Structure 1
């Protein structure tokens, strides 16, 4: 009687050797760039066994469709189309975890990163000289063809903040162009945030100096097609990530962003209250109610745009979400007042009671918003 065939990799037919390098490309509305990038990778990595994984956030311009057409012609091209999820960091993490090579690179689809540096980066990792190789904008030899002064200034400021507050050693932790050993990434992945834009900063901050990093200069090119995805809200996103890392990830990035939006809402509330009382002579109860409604509306819009950008509500769902947010925050206000009164009754220190109530309100609003407003589908 023949011995039963036991399942396992040893029983699989001999397959072609896998890739040595996986290139991860997060995309959103980059239809005109992906084919150009693919051809550049093909020309640059001619002596390397490679694959490219485009991780597309369901681009309205059909980027995923172009990638899929490329994949039909070349099995080294893969497409991960994400529906209901958005964000560069999350896309990079999913792409890396969906790949198979021992070395993985992250590069933007906008053609501004210098793909000709990939072989050099790979050599540094393969020779075990580093765990991480970063394309840096802040070391000798770097050149820029598409980095305007405003963006350069903001990036330099963010870099300085990150290096000082998080004690990050590398010169350019804000870079979006890097290569890392898969085994080191796998170790850090469970602690990384899927929200935000600065995956490299998250990596090096999470590693706490445990990554052997090498930086190399490159030429930052000009964007050929499409528009930059960076906007003013990225600053809040960055600050939230820094605070999350300072808390050693005890407090999540999303919660910090939610709380920051709440702080903005307080300013909106007080401003509305002042205008209603001083300019329009509205009685206090009505003015307070107006301030609360305007602040809740402001908070909802900002949270929908920033905190929950990966689950952003649109159309009729936006209206339903706003109504649900009003209800959640109204109950949160009761929780706020209840806790504040309870604390004040035990220890009549007004600011302590106020802070306790505010914290309870934020925690309630955050938890209930995740359950009833921005529910994961």
Structure 2
């Protein structure tokens, strides 16, 4: 396969040591995939036989010892590399770190669960080398593709819902924008990386929307295999984070993805507050106690959803969860007090109740978001 100008081939020097970078880096974000690492490396050795490649596993501190399996393989196989991340999680950010750790000509991305059809990697790289496109996607939704490996009807529904949402946003037609199996030139990734959100589990759409120029996309049919070991990460959280990504791109980065999610959770808290209040009043509780209880339940609901969804990559556990909740209560109380004061101030200046309430709510959610991100879910 011809190399680009000024891109020297990697060589093996006389001592048996390797010199230079491989032509292909396969980036594999993983969490709790200890049982799949060895089979995946073996599968890649067959699929990429005769090619110059490496695989970089990016492990989010898996409790099952995934990184130890990777290190054992790396001792005996120079093609295997591992990045162990402590205190941060998320597929998209893992892909970014893995890709930026490569000096290869091409970057391929695939999951670590053996569900992606690694036998298609060679074809994907050849398509890029022929300059037929900028991004080549292993697609389940073109002729010859198959997504039967999705575990059940619920996951099929989540995947199909995400596809329909993405297709409404993308500047180019993509049959499988939810695919986690794709390849592109490293120089395009490097130029796009500063504009990526780095959040969530579906980075392909982020890449297409964030690229400095309109990208050419080609899809090749792939079979999505059933998972051999471990547990699927596709759930409602993934789809919600995908919706957040779409909203962030709609606002062209003016509103951070995490802030959009935080504000959305705050809106659900208002609904929880009203519903609990009506139920308590219905059973005869006085307004004062009902207001206190409904407010506490709404704050608890907000905290749980923020920890589960908005800050999933910084999720609190154990005693940190209890401490974070107590701080969240204090932050929310201060935000509510400030909200009331701002409404009264605007009312005193003759503003309408609706306008005053809107300003108070906006300032309140900005306060809660800023302090929560700094004190509770800070980067560790």
Could you state the TM-score of these two structures normalised by the residue count of structure 1? Answer: 0.93
2:146 to 135, 143, 147: 143
CA contact (8 A) 1:140 1:217 kept: yes
Whole-Å separation in 2 of the counterparts to 1:63 and 1:205: 32
What's the secondary structure of 1:143's corresponding residue? coil
Alignment map for 1:166-245 (pairs within 5 Å): 166-207=170-211, 210-245=214-249
Alignment map for 1:84-95 (pairs within 5 Å): 84-95=87-98
CA contact (8 A) 2:127 2:133 kept: yes
Whole-Å separation in 1 of the counterparts to 2:271 and 2:23: 53
Other-structure match for 1:55? 58
Other-structure match for 2:319? 316
**How many matched pairs?**
363
Other-structure match for 2:347? 344
Whole-Å separation in 1 of the counterparts to 2:347 and 2:71: 62
CA contact (8 A) 1:146 1:221 kept: yes
Note if 1:35 corresponds to 2:38: yes
Whole-Å separation in 2 of the counterparts to 1:155 and 1:208: 27
1:111 to 114, 118, 135: 114
Other-structure match for 1:7? none
Note if 1:129 corresponds to 2:120: no
Alignment map for 1:3-82 (pairs within 5 Å): 16-82=19-85
1:71 Cα offset (Å): 0.5
Note if 1:101 corresponds to 2:104: yes
1:150 Cα offset (Å): 2.9
Whole-Å separation in 2 of the counterparts to 1:125 and 1:108: 20
Whole-Å separation in 2 of the counterparts to 1:165 and 1:265: 29
Whole-Å separation in 2 of the counterparts to 1:168 and 1:353: 43
1:346 Cα offset (Å): 3.6
1:155 to 141, 152, 159: 159
CA contact (8 A) 2:155 2:235 kept: no
Whole-Å separation in 1 of the counterparts to 2:134 and 2:110: 17
Whole-Å separation in 1 of the counterparts to 2:279 and 2:171: 43
Whole-Å separation in 2 of the counterparts to 1:168 and 1:309: 30
Note if 1:255 corresponds to 2:259: yes
Residues 9-54 of structure 1: CA deviation (Å, up to 9, x unaligned): xxxxx97231000000011111111110000001111121111000
What's the secondary structure of 2:70's corresponding residue? helix
Residues 116-150 of structure 1: CA deviation (Å, up to 9, x unaligned): 11111111111222111001122111123412333
Higher mean Cα deviation, 287-296 or 228-237?
Answer: 228-237
Other-structure match for 2:8? none
Whole-Å separation in 2 of the counterparts to 1:174 and 1:208: 21
CA contact (8 A) 1:273 1:291 kept: yes
What's the secondary structure of 1:104's corresponding residue? strand
Other-structure match for 2:6? none
CA contact (8 A) 2:133 2:216 kept: yes
In structure 2, stretches of 5+ residues that fail to align are 1-12
Q: CA RMSD in A?
A: 1.5
Residues 187-221 of structure 1: CA deviation (Å, up to 9, x unaligned): 11111112101100111122376111111111111
Distance 1:346 1:163, change over 3 A: farther
CA contact (8 A) 1:168 1:205 kept: no
